[in-house]
Amino acid sequence: MDGALVKEVGTKALLAGAGALLIFWTFNAVKLVISARGINPLVKQFFNQIASGRIDAAYVLTSKTYRQHVNRQDFLKFLASLQLNRYRNLKSGRPRIQNDQIVLTLKLKSEDKKSELPLDFTFLKVDDAWRIDRITKVKS
């Protein structure tokens, strides 16, 4: 009799724990989706500005903190080192929340799909608008 009671309580505790975990995961997923709204259009705008040669317009999409640490010349050198003209396709990864920022890994793929350039973009919300706060090349 005691064994059946322990089994029943254990099963209920396990189900309650699983339910709590599911609620927690769902809450965080919804929070992430809601907070990340506006990032994809910013990414698209950033790469469109670069593709059309409006580097200054792309530079303005970065945060004030980024511009304080990376001057325009360094930004140009960084973009040149990436050789973005070799890539045609962009694949977005899953966003991650770190403090008040969102980190998103973007993978640029060549047209022949043989080479890939992963970049980590860190976004910061400034006055209800997202800004690029950091761009780093992901080491493979």
| pLDDT, tens digit (0-9, with 9 covering 90-100), for 53-102 | 999 999 999 999 999 999 999 999 999 999 888 888 888 888 888 887 88
Residue 5 or residue 39, greater confidence: 39
Q: Is the pLDDT of residue 8 over 60?
A: yes
Our count of domains for the chain comes to: 2
- Check whether residue 13 and residue 43 sit in a common domain: no
User: Residues 64, 65, 71, 76: what is their CA dihedral angle, to the nearest 10 degrees?
Assistant: -80
What tens digit of pLDDT does each residue of 18-44 get?
888 888 777 766 666 666 677 888 999
Helix (H, G, I), strand (E, B) or coil at 60: helix
61: containing domain: 38-137
Contact 137, 80 (CB under 8 A): no
Same domain, 51 and 93: yes
